[in-house]
Structure formats: structure tokens, C-alpha cells
Structure 1
Amino acid sequence: MTAPGSFTLQVPDSWLDYDLANQDFARQQQELRAVMTTAEQRRTADDALRQARRLLRTARQRGAVSAAGMIARDGDGLVMAFVAVFGVTVPAGADLSLAEIAQQLSRPAGTDGYGDRTVTSVELPEIGAVARITGTEIVPLTDETSAVMIAMHTIIPMPEQPGSYLVVTGMSPNLPLAEAVYDIFDAITGTFRFAAR
């Protein structure tokens, strides 16, 4: 993923860089359906792609500047993961906490045993110490439906631009795989670099 003149972020080769303006999932849908052996598996694949479309639309509406993701078969199910980079600017004179900055992009889950969020500090190569928020969040998929997702937000201050941040957000609906998914999001975020000016 690259935003010209601003940053680069490496995603695995098997991931797809999304076109935020007009992503077409037709090829992915065809490939997934081709390896499914039952009607139920094909319905699951179609549902996963609908979720991916909705996640991408929501990210675009919330100001994503780049996004990438993957949908892959895992035994009888599917594994989905999504990474986007958002630009966030704190209004002059406002003193927002890290959690409030992340809140601009998402909302914590607060039902069915989910909702804990953890704020930590991590070191990114060539960047230094940055804040990270992990937990589960409710992501709206349509006006009527939403889903609980694993989420990781890494908040990176823009150099020489006080109050401006890039937020690398990873999301996945595969709650039982949280530890492995967090490791993937951490590895991807670790490749973040500001582009040379």
C-alpha cells in the first residue's frame, strides 16, 4: 500500500490492494467459489465478500487513504483481514486522548462479553514509539446490521504537522484467531515508513 508522497506499508503478496474509489471483487468471488464444494460454503464466501465490500465502503466514508485485505479459505471456513490507513487531524485547541482519536474511526464493542480495549506503546522502525489500541469493536455493515471485529489501531504522528496523525487500522471478524491476526497486523504495521520527501 502506498500513498504517493506520504507513506508506504507492505502487505503480504497474497493480499489485494483495494481501489478505494471502485473496488471490484468479481475475480476474488469467482476464485473463492471455484474451490467451494457445497452450496453452504459458496453462500459463506458470498457473505464474506459482501462484508468486505461494506468494510471498504465504511473505511472510504471515514476517510481511508489506502486499504488492503485478504479473504482465504481455512478448512471449512474463511479467514478475512483488512488493513486501512486513515488521516486524522485534531482540531486546533482540542486536546483529544488517544482513545478519542481512535473513537473517530470506530466504536468499542460493549455487548456479548466483548469491548475491552488496551492502550500500549510500540516501537516502529524508523518511526519510534507510537500508541496502539487493541480490542474488539462493533463495525456497522449496513444501516441495520453490524459485526464484532478484532481491531488494532496504531496512531502515528505526522512529522512536522502537530495534531495530524496517520492511523493504521487492522480489522478481522475471525475472533477465535485473535492472537494470530494481531501478529499479522503487528508485522504489517511494522513495515510502515514515511516516504522520502
Structure 2
Amino acid sequence: MPETHTAAPRPASVPVRYLLGFPETWWNLDLDPSTRDGSIRRRVLAGLEGSDAGPAVVDRMVRTARKSAREAHVRGALQLAGTFEVLEGGTTLIATTMVLRLAPPPDVVPDLSQLMLSYAVNNARNPLARKSGGKGHRTDVIELPHAGTAGRVTYLEDVDFYGKGWARMAIMQTIVPVPETDEFIVIASTTPSLGLMDEFFGVFDAISNTFRFEYAPESA
């Protein structure tokens, strides 16, 4: 029988931190402007050690990772992790997961069901959903093993790919209400590898399933 999980009861307090796990081949990107350029280059070089990646590929990966880190920092991201792999023939696999903490505008009721309804409407209006026959476009309410009820939306979007033209990205966002607040944690995962969209969505789902909040110890 498949394994089932039951989320632990949420304490009536605001969590102090979160935990999120990633596959062994993924690594966290440094978001600190004072250290990120050097640390990202060292991390990319270490990750590509032993591969067939030439200098041009390495430089492109470094630039891509640095650009991702800069944009994540500007957006106020709490965390950015990714995988950058070079396959035989020079094909690259790229995927990232960004964690954000968002508060709705003051005039918006912080209701997960209403939020997911707006996502569903936007998904239905997305022209890429019609072109793909709906493939890759879903809006659901799910249960995370360790964090309870959350929202899940997947979609395709054409984005500016680091100033080098438009690239179509497959995106999965998992929206987790922060207990005892009006805020949400958004786990936003993206990949331009559309041929492996279903496989990456499986990875993104596995990552979000590790999410949990941590709370301050109860006083004796």
C-alpha cells in the first residue's frame, strides 16, 4: 500500500523558521551581494568538475546562476536553490526553486481558497494553456505531509531569459499559509527544459513535500 502522511497539528503560534529539502545534486545559491559572485563561481566550478563542459559553457552557467541570484535578492527571496547539469553533447539541464514570503495587500482577505480561485482564472486565460491543450496548466488545493493544506499551480510562461531573448518556462508554485499570520510562503520552481516538464514537476513536488515550519520551544 502507498505510504500515507498526516501533517502534525499546528501550534497556535507563529513559526520562527522553515525547513526545505533538496536532491543531492541541487545546491543553494548565495544571495548576499557582498559574497555571491565569488561563491557562485566556486560552486559552479565544483559542480561541473569532471564533466565535459568547456570554458564557454562554464562561463554561461556562472552568468546564469549569478543573474538568478541577483533577481532573487531583488525580489526579497528567502532562499534560492538550483541544479545546473551538462549532459553528453553539451545539453544543459537547468532548474531553480525560489522561496518567498508574501503578504497580501491590505484590502485583500488572506484566504487560500480565494487566492487559488484567482490563480485558476488566470490559468484559464493564459494563451499558452490553450495552445498546449491545457498541458502543464493546473490549479489545485493539496495536502503537504508536514505543513497541511496548501495551494498548487502549474503553468507555462514566456520570460525574458537573462536578456538573451524569450524562453518558455514550466513553473510550479506551492503556496503555504503561514500559521497565525496573513502571510504565505511561496515555493516557486521553474525550468526551461520543457521536454522533461513532467519529470521536473515530479522533482518540484518532492521538494515541496519536505516543507515544514519550525516553532520556538514551548516554555516550561
Query: TM-score band (shorter)?
Result: 0.7 to 0.9
In structure 2, relative to structure 1, the CA distance for the partners of 1:55 and 1:146 (3 Å cut) is: farther
- Paired residues, what number? 185
Q: Which residue of 1 aligns with 2:201?
A: 182
CA–CA separation in structure 2 for the residues paired with 1:35 and 1:177 = 21
- CA shift for structure 1 position 186: 0.4
| Pick aligned residue for 2:31 from 20, 30, 34 | 20
Bigger relative contact order (CA 8 A; separation at least 6): 2
Moved more, 183-192 or 11-20: 11-20
Assess, with a 3 A threshold, how the Cα gap between structure 1 residues 101 and 61 changes in structure 2: closer, same or farther.
farther
The 1-side partners of 2:128 and 2:75 are apart by 21
* CA positional deviation for 1:52: 2.5
How many angstroms apart in 1 are the aligned matches of 2:27 and 2:41? 13
Contact 1:7 1:193 (C-alpha < 8 Å) held by counterparts:
yes
- CA distance in 2 between counterparts of 1:59 and 1:114 reads 29
- Report % sequence identity: 28
Q: Does 1:151 align with 2:166?
A: no
Residues 60 and 141 from structure 1, CA distance in 2 versus in 1: closer, same or farther, beyond 3 angstroms? farther
Q: 1:118 aligns with which of 123, 138, 148?
A: 138
Decide which structure has the larger Cα Rg and report it.
2
- The one-letter code of the counterpart of 1:47 is R
Runs of at least 5 residues in structure 2 that lack an aligned partner in the other structure? 1-14, 121-125
Q: 1:64 aligns with which of 61, 72, 77?
A: 77
Q: Deviations over 1:94-153 (max 9, x none)?
A: 257337689xxxxx7859x56953211221013222111101123334457442211100
Which runs of no fewer than 5 residues in structure 1 stay unpaired? Answer: 103-107
Task: Output the TM-score relative to the length of structure 1.
Answer: 0.79
Task: Give the number of the structure whose residues are more often strand, by fraction.
Answer: 1
**TM-align CA RMSD:** 3.0
